Amino acid sequence: MEEHAINWQALGWAAGWLPAVLALFWWGIRLSLAQTGGAWRRRGRSALILLGGAAVFVLALSALTRHDSHVDLTREKLYTPSPTALAVARGLRVPVSVTYFYQGQDPNARRARDMLLLMARENALLTITSIDPDKQPSLAATHGVKMYNAALIEVAERRVIVQGTDEAEFAIGIQRALRERQVQVCFVEGHNEYAIDNEEFHTHMDSGSSHSHDDAASKVIETTGHGIGRLRRTLESVGYDVQRLPLATVTQIPADCAVVIDANPRTTWLPGESLALKHYLEHGGAALLMFDLGFSLEPGLQELLDTLGVRMTQSVVADRLSHYGTDEEMVAVTGYDPHPITSHVAYSFYPGVRPLVLSTPTAGVSTTALIRSGNTSTTRAVAAVDRRDVTPAGSTPASDDTPQPRTLASASEGTLTAGGKAMRAVVVGDADFASNSFYPYMANSDLVLAMIRWLVREEGLAAVNPRVPVPPMVLLTESQLKAVYLLTALGLPLLATLGGVIVWWRRR
């Protein structure tokens, strides 16, 4: 994460101003007041001294004002915009005007106004105007804004209104105003995928075993799928247009789709659907394919993944050291291979993830491992839900007890055909990590949004993500749970016993 930067040049001007004023004061008290000559000469000399001192003071004060510095000494950096908001301001290349209509009696609104002014210091192309509608009603009426705490962002002829007091939302609004095209995100439907209109935090499944997010999910009999509405809401808040894509009802994927997302299909695709995705990618499309445990790949879809150098095995990854809670199949990842997607992503975790086997892709395509599990990872074979298709050759379920890193996600880019347009694709062996249940926690949301930004070719923008409200929850790894247990169940009683022994010994 980028730290809150200090403007050392401005701080140097502030540090140099005080010695300059002290030197002026020292020179003033040592200046001889003895007057010689006539009255006019004495008066002129006194006036010259006063004017000279005043001029030096004004120049020093002007230099300090023109090189103002902001220092926030609070640990939480309450009075400083977030690093990503500052990065958005620094990255501006065209003039941006923000008019903030704030309620003067609201302390959060006053803080938001100050945050915008601090952002404007980072780039002269960002102009901030603050208006209190209660004190300046005519100005508010002129702009046509009839609500408090609303920022009117203008870039050329584009106007975006953002209501709130969070500088991250203002930064997102600036990015929306700068975007010259409408980015359309298309979610595939028709195979019992995660519902994009379901924003429930947790939904349960009726399965052949107890409710779980690991390989037991592959034995699902009937399910009300976990929603993915939180991801949809986030995409809409950053300015993307979310659409449904019933793939079985179209002959080809619309070219307007900047990216196609399929999140946890439970029934096998039809051959025509696989062909439509292939043609879409050949013409420069982008796809995020999150195929969870139990999903059987239609042969045409597997053939498409083969051209990307990706094969999905019918097994689940378990890591005895790097996992969350007590479930070894809730794999935690703390490091990533270098890639624009993972450059600013921290810890993430994947409940019931299937491994990918990478091979040489077709000519013109480059495929890299995006996410890997830890060195202690093993795999265990699981059964697929949909048995209507024959499992493709080479993907027979098999367990592997050899501890080694397993590829959990891959990123591909290039051309599938000679002379075709460049496509991008991300394949993940899990979809739970992006569902409502796990999306807000750790860096899961950052990772999903980074994938989509890369797919729509906006990886160059500062990664400003909206805050997702979540209930209070603490997620701990197995080792952390053991440490807490040892400290509370053994450490504290032993400490109390030791204290009693010391008191007894001193009183003996």
The tokens for 43 are: 């008066």
* 3-state SS class at 497: helix
The one-character DSSP state at 438 is T
Instruction: Please list, in sequence order, all residues whose beta carbon lies within 8 angstroms of the beta carbon of residue 461, skipping any fewer than 6 positions away.
Output: 88, 91, 175, 453
d(C-alpha 86, C-alpha 84), whole Å: 5
The answer to whether the predicted template modeling score (pTM) of the entire model surpasses 0.75 is: no
d(C-alpha 278, C-alpha 289), whole Å: 13
d(C-alpha 380, C-alpha 326), whole Å: 17
Helix (H) or strand (E) holding 38: none
d(C-alpha 455, C-alpha 458), whole Å: 8
Cα angle 277-393-307, degrees, rounded to a multiple of 5: 35
How much is the pLDDT for 103? Answer: 86
Nearest residue to 364 via CA among 282, 476, 448, 434 = 282
Residue 2 CB neighbour total at 10 angstroms? 11
Half-sphere exposure of 477 (CA within 13 A, CB side): 16
How much is the pLDDT for 4? Answer: 46
pLDDT truncated to tens, each residue of the chain (508 aa)? 344 455 566 566 666 767 776 776 777 666 665 566 667 777 777 777 778 777 777 776 676 666 666 667 777 677 788 888 888 898 899 999 999 998 888 899 999 999 999 999 889 999 999 988 888 887 777 777 778 889 999 998 888 888 888 888 899 899 888 887 889 999 999 999 999 988 766 544 333 344 455 445 444 433 444 689 999 999 988 889 999 999 999 989 999 999 999 999 989 999 999 999 999 999 999 999 999 887 889 999 999 999 999 999 889 999 888 887 777 888 989 888 889 999 888 889 899 899 999 999 999 999 999 999 989 899 988 876 654 344 444 444 567 788 899 999 999 999 999 888 999 999 999 999 999 888 888 889 999 999 999 999 998 877 776 665 555 555 555 666 677 777 887 788 888 888 888 888 888 7
Half-sphere exposure of 395 (CA within 13 A, CB side): 28
* 3-state SS class at 236: helix
Are 124 and 97 contacting, i.e. CB atoms less than 8 angstroms apart? Answer: no
With 0-12 CB in 10 A as exposed, 13-18 as middle and 19+ as buried, what is 490?
A: exposed
Helix (H) or strand (E) holding 277: helix 271-282
User: Residue 23 carries which side chain, given as an amino acid letter?
Assistant: A
DSSP for 72-120, written as a single string? --STT-TTS--HHHHHHHHT--S-EEEEEE--TT-HHHHHHHHHHHHHH
d(C-alpha 330, C-alpha 476), whole Å: 11
How much is the pLDDT for 426? Answer: 97
d(C-alpha 349, C-alpha 491), whole Å: 30
DSSP for 185-219, written as a single string? EEEEESS-PPPTT---S---EEESSSS-SSGGGGG
* Ramachandran area for residue 457 (φ above 0: left; ψ -120 to 50: alpha; else beta): left
How much is the pLDDT for 224? Answer: 47
* Ramachandran area for residue 486 (φ above 0: left; ψ -120 to 50: alpha; else beta): alpha
How much is the pLDDT for 431? Answer: 93
Cα angle 286-287-293, degrees, rounded to a multiple of 5: 165
Residue with tokens 């926690």: 441
How much is the pLDDT for 470? Answer: 54
* 3-state SS class at 138: helix
Which whole-number Å values give the CA distances from 176 to 150, 159, 240, 458, 463, in the listed order?
15, 9, 9, 12, 13
Nearest residue to 164 via CA among 111, 232, 122, 86 = 111
User: Residue 247 carries which side chain, given as an amino acid letter?
Assistant: L
d(C-alpha 416, C-alpha 191), whole Å: 26
